[in-house]
Structure 1
């Protein structure tokens, strides 16, 4: 997929299409997600109950004195003696209506029914309301405790309920956060494994065209962005939806007009979100492109730091990094600017809505048209109402980042530059080692042919060498034998079987390749020889090392075969790394051995060890040698001379020298160079 190779060319897929693909990763964990959603619904209901309980405590208990009271002529339960009469809460037909009012820090018992929503005044122990006057009695603290016993109990009950809700919310939140994080981490674990498994399956041609840093960005930065999507957005959208829906229901139950004021702000928020969406997605795309460039630059230059320092290119590379880093900084600031404008605009809209609520509701409370507890509940619900909306805006910001990352992840996963296995592979157990190229054409790119109509045959057990100038196609041949690349035309046969009809893993298990630049993994010597093959014992490893003379330096190390290996084996010399690679090849005991420039740039002492090892490991197996140093292949059964992707000469060392052709010229050039040295 060519689009992946260019970071600037991003396919603008629909968010819904990307989201559907992202949601597929949640399917194995759906039961956990359902549990989390249920817990969130429960927590939401409990949270919504809080303002309603407080509203009830204010209107029914704290302001409970505004209810009905009655003067009776006899003492009754929870009654207070006032003069010769008894005041009791509630309506009793045999008594006379009474009220309690709060005026200038005192509570009064009123011998008559007072309208608490109308203004009144107290003069000379009488309460005056309009043209009516009622006898008023100051109530003591003890009398209030008796008369408001139910109100005290109601406040205690509300407090206990709030405490139970707080503890329940804490426990349920702990459980749902733990389950959600567990689920999110498992999903991200699966995504990382899927990406890495996919990257491993891609042909080498893909890695020829894509920097390592860019691929690292996919598996680290981009996947971590998806982690925020799964753990902080998707499931929480349900919580926000539950909360908004519940708040609107409670608001409309309490007061329709105030609820409509809250709804009036929503269109403005939607408009702000649509404007934000237009700019934020593009800004995040730019950020993802530029962080990938930084990672690619760092990966390349840190790996090549030796070359940078040898040629004193630190300043030049710094200037290049400064330009890339500045580009990333500017892209990030553009994204920050978009968010910095959007979030305060949401806060402004919510503040205006709250101000309108206080203005309209406050007038209603002063005019006795609305209970104070109801206004308190509305203010609480309105603040709660904007919390999920603000939350959604932040989640939308994360979602835009996740969409930009998911585009690139799916572009990588959709890349199909694979070496496909046959559906019904042929058996490939213990091949004899016969290799044949039939009219093979191969190019790394389009029709820039590296090999042109190449045909040759290697018999089982033969030692065949390929020589030629740089670019002749030698290394390409050994890559094709292991099917690291697929040819465009022709056939490659092993024991008469086309390698495209063989399981590629079975094919590669029977071919050991020792490259010029040996790659060692971080770990120890034993793990680098065994390469996770449990069938290779420690004794096998030791015997293999002794067989190829690698024991000469390994035995001198403090930890011997358990000695640590740093990244790429940087603490070992090139010759030591190649001896370890030979030991690896012997331990796996393949019928086909490929040696690519295995003796180049080696000191004389190590070369003698390697030459002895080469003689041993090439016995009784088909061996292909690619070498620039022609002196190392004099004993080859067959030498194939390549030039510009074609075979020019075939024969033994002496035969080719007698022809005085291309091989003779190459040999004379090297011989003269040696004479000069």
Structure 2
């Protein structure tokens, strides 16, 4: 036996149906992430190459000295200055100036809140700061600064403080470049925003398509599942699979998968940027990946059991709600509201407790843990590379960019943690959905062009059991010829409806064979079998819509004239034409605004409009009044001609004209014949008939 694919693989198989859309979205996402992550690198370039570049070596000369054409210089206080990187750009000019005795090396240093010119030193290493007392110098711009070198006493030297205009002149060649870099930065942010919109829209619309496909697969498969499954499964649970569980899976594709993909690409991009900035720092951050992976595994292990219980309780509550609404009149009539509420509260409380436990695990292992690790590592980075060693370890621009990328690194990790609960909920829901999809079912086949049968039906030694070892039918054998009416009577549980369920193909017999026109129905598709069958149930079901729709059910072969004729034939036209909307009168769910008899007449018209070769009436007159029953009996005399009709009835007066009456008792046919023959036999049928006619109580007891 081939093992079933894992839930994740099956979910991915759905995603692969739209792989081109997903690939396009991921490509756009990579571009968006690249544009977004360029921001700190641009900031680093602005800081190191333009803002902090003022502290590079400068060369000072007299204004009157000639300089090579095109070389950048700045004039301050009767002196001309050229920066080292400007000289490096013009190697011949740079070498001539740096080697000339008329030019000397100086520094512009940022000390506290001012910019100072130091031009009286030959060495500029060490730690520089303002002297404790710089008073007594001539001129308001003259100050004292001190330099501390390792193993030497502090030196006090004079310096000149620059005015704001002089500082601005030092940056005059950098302003244009900074504006261009900032324009690029803003442009990339706008581009990233547009690309994020495109990828988010594409990914989320694709997720909706995936769930739409999954829901259609579920609905399609539900129609292929044998009726036996629904006998033991609450309807609310099936509804929960299609509605709630697929919605949880939608969250997986729209939230977790999008977040996971976006976060993964962000993390990869951040690592690339970190390694470009500083390999040492980037290598240290690699420890985060296994650390967070371990925390995620622990989180998933402990919280899965709580999520499983939560989804199970939600399914149970949906089933209870569905059942309670369906039987609300019974609950209220027997004053069971309090008991039902207590049952629901118990389920709800159990779900709440498990939800709290799951949130406790989530709170300990997600955002708090990630935030703590991020804060500690950031603080450690600042401490290690800060202070005195900052300028010797890494440049300030690299340091700024690294801290920026580090802050961005933890955001996608937190995003993944935040979506883990949705992911677990979706995986549990997917397990339930795929369990339903894995149930054995029969493919729906096209029944177009299937020839209309004559209507000869034969049951040959049929036995059947809903549960193994508990047969409900034993050795059922009979024939119904074309145009005959066969009635099935018997007390509740005798097997009447089971015979019709077998004829309709809802179940397969345990033993024996059912034939229509001599052909076994076991070899027919269910659509072919039921195409020329009509059925009317004791509790007719009307769909939300109008009366015409409830007769035609969107069958293109049944036009408005056929709908009206069918309603006339069953005697329903009289009350329908008195309704405000007539044949277009809206019908609410289950037809609750119509009487039981009116609903039954519309159900009859539905069956007749489809012109079945085999008509099944399953206790169709059990819940209608005598006047309506008379209308139906009259209509049946017309429409049953030429059709094989099976009637399951408790009212024996409605089957007096039947060609064959089968009396069932405990799954066996104990009597057969027409009305007169069975009355002459004076057996079980006779006693049941007399009981309904008001026979003696002792006769009724013997019949039982």
TM-score, reference length from structure 2: 0.89
Query: Would you say the 8 A contact 1:78–1:149 is kept in 2?
Result: no
Deviation larger for 482-491 or 236-245: 236-245
1:109 corresponds, among 98, 112, 117, to 117
Deviation larger for 146-155 or 644-653: 146-155
SS of 1:25's partner is helix
CA displacement at 1:214 relative to structure 2: 0.4
CA displacement at 1:673 relative to structure 2: 6.3
Query: Would you say the 8 A contact 2:463–2:509 is kept in 1?
Result: yes
Count of matched residue positions in the alignment of Structure 1 and Structure 2: 661
CA displacement at 1:426 relative to structure 2: 13
Deviation larger for 96-105 or 424-433: 424-433
Say if 2:325 is the partner of 1:336.
no
Correspondence 1:362-511 to 2 at 5 A: 362-363=386-387, 365-366=389-390, 368-416=392-440, 418-419=441-442, 428-511=450-533
CA displacement at 1:596 relative to structure 2: 0.8
SS of 2:74's partner is strand
2:311 corresponds, among 260, 285, 288, to 288
Name the structure 2 match of 1:558. Answer: 580
Q: 1:268 to 1:75 in 2, by over 3 A?
A: same
Q: Which has the larger radius of gyration?
A: 2
1:172 corresponds, among 163, 185, 195, to 195
**For residues 444 and 217 of structure 2, what CA distance do their matches in structure 1 show?**
18
Query: Would you say the 8 A contact 2:542–2:587 is kept in 1?
Result: yes
| CA-to-aligned-CA distance 1:180-207 (integer Å, 9 cap, x gap) | 1110111110001101111111121111
Correspondence 1:653-664 to 2 at 5 A: 653-664=675-686
CA displacement at 1:361 relative to structure 2: 2.5
2:6 corresponds, among 11, 17, 38, to 17
Runs of 4+ in structure 1 deviating by more than 6 angstroms, as ranges, are 131-135, 424-427, 673-676
Name the structure 2 match of 1:321. Answer: 344
Gaps in structure 1 of 5+ consecutive residues: 1-12
Deviation larger for 75-84 or 56-65: 75-84
Say if 2:646 is the partner of 1:624.
yes
Say if 2:86 is the partner of 1:62.
no
CA displacement at 1:19 relative to structure 2: 0.7
| CA-to-aligned-CA distance 1:431-473 (integer Å, 9 cap, x gap) | 0000001111111111211111111111011011011111111
Say if 2:81 is the partner of 1:87.
yes
1:221 corresponds, among 232, 238, 244, to 244
Deviation larger for 138-147 or 582-591: 138-147
Query: Would you say the 8 A contact 2:306–2:358 is kept in 1?
Result: yes
Say if 2:606 is the partner of 1:584.
yes
**For residues 30 and 195 of structure 1, what CA distance do their matches in structure 2 show?**
22
1:533 corresponds, among 534, 540, 555, to 555
Say if 2:374 is the partner of 1:350.
yes
1:100 corresponds, among 102, 108, 121, to 108
Q: 1:471 to 1:168 in 2, by over 3 A?
A: same
**For residues 571 and 488 of structure 2, what CA distance do their matches in structure 1 show?**
26
Q: 1:299 to 1:84 in 2, by over 3 A?
A: closer
Gaps in structure 2 of 5+ consecutive residues: 88-93, 98-102, 699-704
Query: Would you say the 8 A contact 1:40–1:176 is kept in 2?
Result: yes
**For residues 175 and 124 of structure 2, what CA distance do their matches in structure 1 show?**
23
Name the structure 1 match of 2:234. Answer: 211
Say if 2:183 is the partner of 1:189.
no
SS of 1:619's partner is coil
SS of 1:635's partner is coil
Query: Would you say the 8 A contact 2:224–2:444 is kept in 1?
Result: no
2:225 corresponds, among 194, 202, 210, to 202
CA displacement at 1:675 relative to structure 2: 11
CA displacement at 1:127 relative to structure 2: 5.4
Query: Would you say the 8 A contact 1:428–1:502 is kept in 2?
Result: no
Query: Would you say the 8 A contact 2:385–2:393 is kept in 1?
Result: no
**For residues 462 and 674 of structure 1, what CA distance do their matches in structure 2 show?**
33
**For residues 608 and 228 of structure 2, what CA distance do their matches in structure 1 show?**
29
Name the structure 1 match of 2:383. Answer: 359
**For residues 302 and 161 of structure 1, what CA distance do their matches in structure 2 show?**
62
**For residues 648 and 116 of structure 1, what CA distance do their matches in structure 2 show?**
116
**For residues 447 and 599 of structure 2, what CA distance do their matches in structure 1 show?**
35
CA displacement at 1:235 relative to structure 2: 4.3
CA displacement at 1:23 relative to structure 2: 0.9
Query: Would you say the 8 A contact 2:40–2:404 is kept in 1?
Result: yes
| CA-to-aligned-CA distance 1:213-249 (integer Å, 9 cap, x gap) | 1011101111011111112222443332222122222
**For residues 388 and 426 of structure 2, what CA distance do their matches in structure 1 show?**
46
CA displacement at 1:368 relative to structure 2: 4.3
Query: Would you say the 8 A contact 1:39–1:172 is kept in 2?
Result: yes
Q: 1:83 to 1:319 in 2, by over 3 A?
A: closer
Query: Would you say the 8 A contact 1:548–1:616 is kept in 2?
Result: no
Q: 1:675 to 1:281 in 2, by over 3 A?
A: closer
Q: 1:132 to 1:538 in 2, by over 3 A?
A: same
**For residues 122 and 672 of structure 2, what CA distance do their matches in structure 1 show?**
122
Deviation larger for 61-70 or 72-81: 72-81
Query: Would you say the 8 A contact 1:284–1:404 is kept in 2?
Result: yes
**For residues 172 and 395 of structure 2, what CA distance do their matches in structure 1 show?**
22
Query: Would you say the 8 A contact 1:308–1:314 is kept in 2?
Result: yes
**For residues 486 and 426 of structure 1, what CA distance do their matches in structure 2 show?**
24
Name the structure 2 match of 1:8. Answer: none
**For residues 236 and 222 of structure 2, what CA distance do their matches in structure 1 show?**
13
**For residues 234 and 273 of structure 1, what CA distance do their matches in structure 2 show?**
16
SS of 1:558's partner is coil
SS of 1:464's partner is strand
CA displacement at 1:366 relative to structure 2: 4.9
**For residues 123 and 175 of structure 2, what CA distance do their matches in structure 1 show?**
23
Query: Would you say the 8 A contact 1:201–1:419 is kept in 2?
Result: yes
Q: 1:331 to 1:616 in 2, by over 3 A?
A: farther
**For residues 253 and 378 of structure 1, what CA distance do their matches in structure 2 show?**
10
SS of 2:615's partner is strand
SS of 1:241's partner is helix
Query: Would you say the 8 A contact 2:447–2:531 is kept in 1?
Result: no
Deviation larger for 633-642 or 361-370: 361-370
SS of 1:201's partner is coil
1:274 corresponds, among 253, 272, 297, to 297
Q: CA RMSD in A?
A: 2.4
